[in-house]
Amino acid sequence: MSDDEKAKSSSSAPSYEDRCKAVNAISHPLAAKKSTKKAHKLVKKAAATKHIRRGVKEVVKGLRKGETGLAILAGDIYPVDVISHLPVLLEDADVPYVFVPSKFDLGAAASTKRPTSCVLIRTPKKDFDGQDLYDALVKEAKEYDPATISVSSR
């Protein structure tokens, strides 16, 4: 393989920065690169132990039933109206949430072949393998204050 072919094969998957360019205006708080990897790892572990709800309908149903946990939303959903009501519902239910840049990566981490717009990781019982990841992401998501967003014109 030549150097050009190696560069093309390694750059076939978009980078974190490229994915961040495609996110919607409402995607706040957007997880940092390291936090995004943690979130995907947590979703993978939660999916393996059935501590997860996938998709808008299931997440809304879980919130109506009073489930708590951590919500992870994809930032590149179009049209944005599909998930625009979720941050308000999550704030009303006191469920912390964080956005990740890619619905494709979120779907892959949730063990589905389809892209996933959002997942709700239910508050884990004891003996959960990813408890440290869960606690770290919940702490990061709770630090976000929606009142501090500054509206900028594009």
Rounded to two decimals, the pTM is 0.86
Please name the amino acid found at residue 106: L
Report how far residue 69's alpha carbon sits from residue 50's, in angstroms, rounded to the nearest whole number.
13
**Mean of pLDDT over the chain:** 87
The pair of three-digit structure tokens given for residue 67, joined into one six-digit string? 């489930």
**pLDDT score, position 101:** 94
Span of 20-34, 77-91, 108-122 with lowest mean pLDDT: 20-34
The one-character DSSP state at 95 is -
The answer to whether residues 94 and 68 touch, using CB atoms and an 8 Å cutoff, is yes
What digits encode the pLDDT tens for the residues 55-70?
999 999 999 999 999 9
Query: Is residue 73's pLDDT more than 70?
Result: yes
With bands split at pLDDT 50, 70 and 90, how would you rate the model's confidence at 150?
low
Edge-to-edge strand list for the sheet holding 69-74: 52-54, 118-122, 69-74, 97-100
What confidence tens digit (pLDDT) does each residue in 106-134 have?
A: 999 999 999 999 999 999 888 888 899 99
pLDDT class for 151, splitting at 50, 70, 90? low
User: Which of 34-38, 145-149, 150-154 has the weakest average pLDDT?
Assistant: 150-154
What confidence tier does 152 reach under pLDDT thresholds 50, 70, 90? low
